[in-house]
Structures are given as C-alpha cells and as structure tokens.
C-alpha cells in the first residue's frame, strides 16, 4: 500500500484557528478548530497540530506542505503593535502621510477623525534628492547626509526604515543608492523601499504602503522564523507557504519581504474556494459570505471569477466610511467587510438603541457562554439562546457552552434597558446583525452590477451557516450553497489557490505617443522579476503569465483594468487597444468619450504556477433512509412566526447523496451549524454540498415581478 502524503491548511482568525488536513492519495479530509492565542499565534498552531496527531499519530512526517493564512499583519496595524519605524523621503515631502489626498471622507462632519500616520512626524526625515516626473535625475543622494541620519536613527531606537522618494517609480536610482548605504551602515535595521514594494504612481498611497510594509516587517519576520522552528520541532520537514491577499500563495521568504501583501490572507481563501466551487458547478453569479468569530467578509463572484482591486483600506476610524483608513495599494481580492462575527458585542448606544459591533469579544474572554469571564452579550450568545446552537455540541462537543450565562448577559445588558423580554432582545441581536450585513451586501452587489435576486449565496466560517439563511432572505436571494467543511472554509480554500505573485510598475504614456516596444520591454522585465520570486517558492513548473493594463482618460484620477492577451505587445495596434478601453469603460460607466485622449498609467503582471490537483471526494454513505440522519428535535426561534417551534436536527456526517428534506431544520457538524427556516427545501449532492432553496410564496413572487 502506498504511503500517504498530506497537505495542511492552517488559518488563524481573530477567534478561532482552523485546520484542514488532506490526504493527497485518497482525498480524505481531517479537520480541527481551536481558540486563537493572540499573544502568540504559533501556540494555537502547535496545539491544533498536536490535537490532529491524536487522530493520526505521526502524520507530520508525511506532510509535504503547509499553507498558512494569518491576521497577524492586519491586527498589528489596527492595534498599532508594529515596530518603531522611520520614513526617509524627498526634501519637502515629510508630511505626505498627514496631508494625504487633502480630501474629507465626510464633507459635512467638522469633527471627522483620521487615522494617526503609521510613522509619527518625529521619525520622518528628508533627503535633499530629486527626480523629475519622467525619471531624470536632478539631484543625487548625498552619502554623508544618509550616514548622519542613520546615526540618529540608531540613537532613537529605530527598528525599521521605509524609503519613498518622489517620482522613484520612473527611476529607482536614488532609492537603490540609499539602500546600498543602509545595508552597509545599518545592516541590523529592516528596510523597505518603494521601488521594491510599490513602484506605482500616487505618492500618498505609495508612501503609506511602503511605510506599512516597514512597520510590520520585523514582527512578520520574527513570527515566521519562530513558526518554522516550532513546526520543525513537531516533525514538519516540508515547504511552508503563505496566502496572499491577491488569492495566490507564496514562499515564507517573499512574505517576510512583503508582509503588506498578506494583510487579507485569511478571508481571501474563502473567496478562492467559492470561486472554485462556482467553476465546478458552472454557477454564473455567486455571493461568498464568510462569517467567523470576529469579522464577516463578502465578495461577489461573476462569471466564475472574483474581482481584484489595487487599493483598499485598513484601520478605518469609521468602519464603513471609505477614506477614513490607511490606503494600501497592493493587489487584493475585492472583498467587502459587511458586519461582524459571532463574538460581536451587543450594547445600548448613546441614543438608547440596540447596537451590535464593531467591538468583538474575540477569543479572550470571548462570548459570555464561553465561561472565560466575558460579561458582554454577543451574537453567539443570542444564537445559543434562540436554539440555533447546541451547548453540548459546540466544536463537536469539545467545548461546552453555558446558556445561563448568555441569558444573564442579554437580560442585564440589553433586555432590561430596552424594556423587552430576554428572548426578544436575543432575536433583536440576531436580526440586527443580519440586517447590517444585508444592507452592506446589497450595496456591494449593486456596485458590481449584480442582482441579489439571482445570486447563489455560499456560506463559510463558523458563524456563516447560522446566519446565511437570514441574510439571503433579506437581500432577496433564493439559493444557498453550503460546501463540505464550511466552518473551516478558508483553510480548505488554501488548496485551491495557485502559487502566484503580482508585480506592477507605473509608466505614464499617452496612447498615441507611447512606444510599444518600450512597453513590451517593461512587461518582460516584470515577468523576469516575478519568475525569480516564484523560483524561491517552487521550481520546475512552467510559469503562467497574465498581463494587465491600467488606463484612463487623460486628466482623470482613477484607472480601469484591462486584461490583455499574453503576446508581444508590439502585435497590438493602437486602434485595438483604444477599442478595448472604450468597451470596458462603457460596460462600467455606460458611455465613453471617443474624442478624449487616453493614457497608459500602470502595467501589471501576474505570474503563477499550475494549480496542484484538488478535488472533493464523493460521499460513500450507503444508507438511503433520511430518518437515520436525524439526531432529534430542538426548539428554536422562527424568523417567520417570531416564536419557538420544533426544528429537526440532522447529523451532516450521516447525510447521503441525493438526500432531501425540508425546513425548519438545523444541520450540525463539528465545525459549524446550518440553520434554515420552514420555507426551505434542501438536497444533498454526490459530493456532500447542501443546496438550499428558499421557496417564495406565490403572491410575494408576483409582487416582486410587478415591481
């Protein structure tokens, strides 16, 4: 018998750390879930691996690779727990991090708050150097000036340095010079240069992204080094990969150099998994909904592909206000934060109204029912009181919940102040979080030109399957898909992602004046650079390149993305490029101006390796009697009748191919719980996916068509 080999996916969330182990020969999965250890995330990883080893002794010796996603970077930014960082910039640009775009994110709020710059003004320094807009050197770097500055940084206790000069995306000569000096005179300091991190136009975004990379580089370096050593002590001798925000995976070495690229590594994996399932079942429009213990994310997948954006924000002062956070200009899957998670705290606002989130109880102390000292009621406490969760079967029975503590917290903190019953307060918490997420989801779908009535909602995360039914009803969707192992969907999604890396470079040229040979040379250089990065992750496979143009009308401040064929750029005609631009612009905005000139702004290349084989095994359960899948009945709250009614409880592990049943129902598995109302019909396919249809009343359907 052939010796099995394994791949392990490990996703560190704000509340739980998830594990999925796949047998490369049989396709069999093993899962685990344990509480995250915020003080040292690697503690939870070692704990989870050791718990898996109780089921499969010695499996670590046969693990070929581990794919890891983490919230370490984004948490360090939000909590401001990064390294003490200095910024070196061009003379006259010291205050770019505070000036930003000189725009108010809320024009009518005179008390608008803005995030503190990641580097305080006292740690920002100027160098008397200068390049023109087209890259010509006006003033070179003075080595003595740099050495004097480094001596000051050493005295001040600076750990990491960010370098960002004006117009350096067109010519990196001055940044390369200062890099040589720093590496020679201060090799102990971590260094991030903008020509390596982000050689793109837009000075504020480029400076902020480079500074953030420098800010989190030391903690990422030490964490990954420690993780590699800890994994080695428990028998791991394979390759460790890190999930990128762009949907690919990369080597530990690349993640150390560019930690800003892994800010959204965990949530991205669920989207990549949803994209894989959409292609697997040929579903045109999918809405990925991933709700964990701390946050909830969503993404609209159209025509089998999740969109990529080049800029997003972290650490927003106002959670849903664009412009109130730190701009990060790196490729990232087009996610939207649409609410909170199971640990979101419910409270009474200053206006005397019920408010849920954005504060979270996290893993420590966690919801009141965790019995770890938490006194504030959370979404999980409400779900427990409403009967959706079994206190004796949380995490498959490995973690007992205390429903009396949930009732007490909801009664004292919510019900009494509002003058309602405890049950009404619990349902208010559950329904409000659904409403908050649904409102944001409808906005996200509309912005992408989608229709919420025709999307299939896919549920991920420990809390996602509990809330997907309520979310789907509120946005008007009638189809829900819950994949196998939905509760650890991000960890499973790692296996569907390719080894990949994105590089870009800005080079502004008006279309009519551009030298197409020069652009082809630029693309070739990007492909060579990305090839070297991928060689560090894996060698021997043919590299696949994808090219993208970022273009705009001359005078505009925003660009549109144009994916182009991977052929010699000189084979394109200017007319062909202009036609592609106009067609995409019309699709997005309804019209294009034929008489206006357009320009190239940025050129992008994605390099990726062929995906490793991955598939979901078919169900092997032989029974065909649905009664054998029933665990019993439980009183749970109906969102239709606004009262407790009997819900049939099913054991998902016993469900068989082509099984069919109707709601109200609760389907339990170790990692999550699915809750569906009495207006649903469910079926199980041969791979174990649960397809749920929300049956609309005839009158309601007619009303919808009339509108």
CATH number at residue 20: 3.30.420.40
- What phi, psi does 489 have (nearest 5°)? -60, -35
User: Does residue 240 share a domain with residue 199?
Assistant: no
Higher pLDDT, 140 or 319: 140
Report helix, strand or coil for 138.
strand
What mean pLDDT, rounded, does the chain reach? 89
Residue 684 CA to residue 670 CA, distance in Å, equals: 18
Residue 339 has pLDDT above 60, yes or no: no
The contacts of residue 103 (CB under 8 Å, 6+ apart) are 323
- Cis previous bond, 244, omega within 30: no
3-state per-residue secondary structure call for 152-186: HHHHHCCCEEEEECCCCCCCCHHHHHHHHHHHHHC
- If 0-12 CB within 10 Å is exposed, 13-18 middle and 19+ buried, where does residue 262 land? buried
pLDDT of residue 699: 44
Q: What is the enclosing helix (H) or strand (E) of 555?
A: none
User: Does residue 600 share a domain with residue 513?
Assistant: yes
pLDDT of residue 55: 86
Assign residue 578 the CATH number of its domain: 3.30.1490
Tokens of 129: 């150097």
- The answer to whether the Cα torsion of 286, 306, 74, 607 is positive or negative is positive
User: Does residue 632 share a domain with residue 580?
Assistant: no
Residue 645 CA to residue 387 CA, distance in Å, equals: 10
User: Does residue 459 share a domain with residue 373?
Assistant: no
- What phi, psi does 61 have (nearest 5°)? -65, -20
pLDDT of residue 198: 93
Domain that includes residue 102, residue range: 80-212
> CA 316: distance to chain centroid?
16
User: Does residue 467 share a domain with residue 330?
Assistant: yes
Residue 451 has pLDDT above 50, yes or no: yes
Q: Which long-range contacts (CB under 8 A, 24 or more apart) does 32-36 make?
A: 33/395, 33/462, 33/487, 33/488, 33/670, 33/671, 35/363, 35/364, 35/366, 36/12, 36/362, 36/363
Tokens of 326: 């730190």
Closest by Cα among 571, 595, 558, 574 to 511: 574
User: Does residue 581 share a domain with residue 504?
Assistant: yes
Residue 87 has pLDDT above 90, yes or no: yes
Domain membership of residue 673 (yes or no) is yes
Tokens of 121: 């003004």
DSSP string, 264-279: THHHHHHHHHHHHHHH
Residue range 172-225, pLDDT digits in tens: 999 999 999 999 999 999 999 999 999 999 999 999 999 999 999 999 999 999
User: Does residue 602 share a domain with residue 463?
Assistant: no
Once rounded to an integer, what is the mean pLDDT over residues 418-425?
95
Closest by Cα among 463, 470, 499, 372 to 676: 470
Q: What is the enclosing helix (H) or strand (E) of 509?
A: strand 500-510
Q: What is the DSSP letter of 106?
A: S
- Report the predicted TM-score, pTM, of the whole model to 2 decimal places: 0.84
> CA 68: distance to chain centroid?
13
Of 549, 578, 608, which marks where a domain is finished? 608
- Cis previous bond, 664, omega within 30: yes
Contact between residue 197 and residue 260 where contact means Cβ atoms under 8 Å apart: yes
Residue 476 has pLDDT above 90, yes or no: yes
Tokens of 185: 């005179």
Assign residue 158 the CATH number of its domain: 3.40.1360
DSSP string, 199-229: --S-HHHHHHHHHHHHHHHHHHHHHHHHHHH
Of 412, 430, 448, which marks where a domain is finished? 430
Domain membership of residue 615 (yes or no) is no
- What phi, psi does 154 have (nearest 5°)? -65, -40
User: Does residue 662 share a domain with residue 534?
Assistant: no
Edge-to-edge order in the sheet of strand 124-127: 124-127, 85-90, 160-164, 190-193
User: Does residue 240 share a domain with residue 179?
Assistant: no
Residue 279 CA to residue 388 CA, distance in Å, equals: 31
Residue 387 has pLDDT above 70, yes or no: yes
Low-confidence winner among 233-242, 553-562, 581-590, 606-615 (lowest mean pLDDT): 606-615
Domain membership of residue 437 (yes or no) is yes
Domain membership of residue 459 (yes or no) is yes
The contacts of residue 148 (CB under 8 Å, 6+ apart) are none
Once rounded to an integer, what is the mean pLDDT over residues 567-572?
92
Q: What is the DSSP letter of 129?
A: -
Give the total number of structural domains in the chain. Answer: 6
Domain membership of residue 616 (yes or no) is no
Residue 441 CA to residue 454 CA, distance in Å, equals: 14
Percentage of residues in the chain having pLDDT higher than 70: 96
Edge-to-edge order in the sheet of strand 643-651: 630-638, 643-651, 665-668, 673-676
Closest by Cα among 464, 529, 505 to 254: 529
pLDDT of residue 73: 85
Closest by Cα among 102, 170, 95 to 130: 170
User: Does residue 97 share a domain with residue 61?
Assistant: no
Residue 698 has pLDDT above 60, yes or no: no
> How many Cβ atoms are within 10 Å of 265's Cβ, its own excluded?
30
The pLDDT confidence band at residue 704, using thresholds 50, 70 and 90, is very low
pLDDT of residue 537: 63
Domain membership of residue 677 (yes or no) is yes
The contacts of residue 623 (CB under 8 Å, 6+ apart) are 629, 654, 656
The contacts of residue 310 (CB under 8 Å, 6+ apart) are 329, 330, 331, 332, 504, 550, 561, 602
Domain membership of residue 199 (yes or no) is yes
The pLDDT confidence band at residue 540, using thresholds 50, 70 and 90, is low
Rg, Å, the chain Cα set: 26
User: Does residue 438 share a domain with residue 329?
Assistant: yes
pLDDT of residue 707: 39
**H helices present in 234-352, as ranges:** 252-257, 265-281
User: Does residue 633 share a domain with residue 594?
Assistant: no
Domain membership of residue 617 (yes or no) is no
């Amino acid at each position: 018998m052939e010796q099995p080999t394994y791949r392990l996916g490990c996703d560190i969330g704000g509340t739980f750390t998830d594990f999925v182990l796949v047998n490369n020969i049989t396709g069999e999965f093993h899962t685990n879930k344990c509480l995250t250890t915020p003080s040292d995330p690697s503690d939870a990883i070692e704990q989870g691996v050791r718990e898996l080893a109780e089921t499969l002794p010695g499996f670590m010796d046969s693990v070929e690779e581990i794919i890891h996603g983490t919230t370490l970077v984004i948490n360090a930014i939000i909590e401001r727990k990064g390294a003490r960082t200095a910024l070196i910039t061009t003379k006259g640009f010291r205050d770019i991090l505070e000036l930003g775009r000189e725009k108010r994110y809320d024009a009518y709020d005179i008390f608008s708050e803005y995030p503190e710059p990641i580097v305080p003004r006292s740690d920002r320094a100027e160098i008397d150097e200068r390049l023109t807009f087209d890259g010509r050197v006006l003033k070179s770097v003075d080595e003595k000036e740099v050495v004097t500055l480094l001596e000051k940084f050493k005295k001040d206790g600076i750990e990491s340095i960010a370098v960002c000069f004006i117009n350096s995306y067109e010519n990196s000569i001055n940044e390369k010079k200062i890099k040589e000096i720093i590496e020679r005179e201060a090799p102990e300091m971590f260094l991030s240069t903008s020509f390596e991190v982000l050689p793109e136009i837009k000075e504020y975004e480029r400076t902020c992204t480079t500074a953030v990379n420098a800010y989190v580089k030391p903690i990422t370096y030490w964490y990954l080094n420690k993780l590699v050593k800890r994994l080695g002590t428990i028998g791991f001798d394979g390759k460790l990969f890190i999930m990128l925000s762009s949907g690919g995976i990369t080597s530990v070495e690349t993640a150390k150099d560019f930690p800003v690229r892994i800010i959204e590594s965990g949530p991205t994996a669920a989207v990549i998994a949803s994209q894989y399932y959409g292609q697997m079942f040929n579903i045109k429009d999918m809405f990925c909904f991933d709700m964990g213990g701390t946050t909830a994310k969503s993404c609209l997948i159209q025509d089998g592909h999740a969109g990529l954006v080049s800029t997003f924000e972290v650490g927003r002062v106002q959670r849903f206000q664009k412009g109130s956070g730190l701009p990060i200009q790196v490729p990232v899957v087009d996610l939207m934060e649409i609410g909170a998670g199971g640990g979101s705290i419910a409270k009474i606002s200053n206006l005397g109204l019920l408010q849920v989130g954005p504060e979270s109880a996290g893993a420590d102390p966690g919801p009141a029912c965790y019995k770890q000292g938490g006194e504030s009621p959370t979404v999980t406490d409400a779900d427990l009181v409403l009967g959706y969760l079994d206190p004796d079967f949380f995490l498959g029975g490995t973690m007992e919940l205390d429903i009396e503590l949930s009732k007490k917290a909801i009664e004292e903190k919510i019900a009494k102040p509002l003058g309602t019953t405890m049950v009404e307060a619990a349902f208010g918490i559950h329904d409000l979080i659904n409403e908050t997420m649904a409102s944001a989801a409808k906005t996200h779908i509309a912005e992408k030109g989608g229709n919420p009535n025709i999307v299939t909602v896919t549920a991920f995360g420990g809390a996602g399957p509990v809330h997907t039914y309520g979310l789907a009803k509120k946005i008007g969707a009638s189809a829900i898909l819950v994949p196998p192992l939905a509760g650890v969907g991000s960890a499973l999604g790692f296996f569907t992602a390719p080894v990949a890396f994105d590089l870009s470079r800005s080079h502004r040229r008006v279309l009519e004046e551009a030298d197409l040979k020069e652009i082809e040379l630029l693309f070739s250089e990007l492909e060579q650079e990305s090839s070297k990065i991928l060689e560090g992750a894996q060698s021997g496979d043919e590299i696949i390149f994808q090219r993208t143009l970022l273009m705009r009308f001359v005078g505009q401040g925003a660009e549109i993305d144009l994916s182009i064929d991977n052929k010699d750029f000189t084979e394109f005609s200017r007319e062909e490029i202009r036609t592609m631009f106009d067609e995409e612009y019309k699709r997005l905005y309804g019209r294009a101006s034929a008489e206006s000139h357009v320009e190239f702004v940025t050129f992008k290349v994605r390099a990726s390796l062929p995906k490793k084989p991955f598939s979901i095994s078919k169900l092997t359960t032989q029974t065909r009697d649905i009664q054998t899948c029933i665990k019993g009945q439980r009183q749970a709250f109906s969102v239709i009748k606004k009262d407790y009614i009997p819900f049939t409880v099913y054991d998902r592990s016993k469900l068989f191919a082509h099984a069919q049943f109707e709601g109200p129902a609760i389907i339990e598995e170790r990692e999550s719980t699915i809750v569906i109302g009495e207006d649903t019909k469910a079926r199980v396919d041969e791979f174990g996916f649960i397809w749920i249809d929300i049956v609309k009343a005839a009158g309601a359907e007619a009303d919808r068509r009339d509108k």
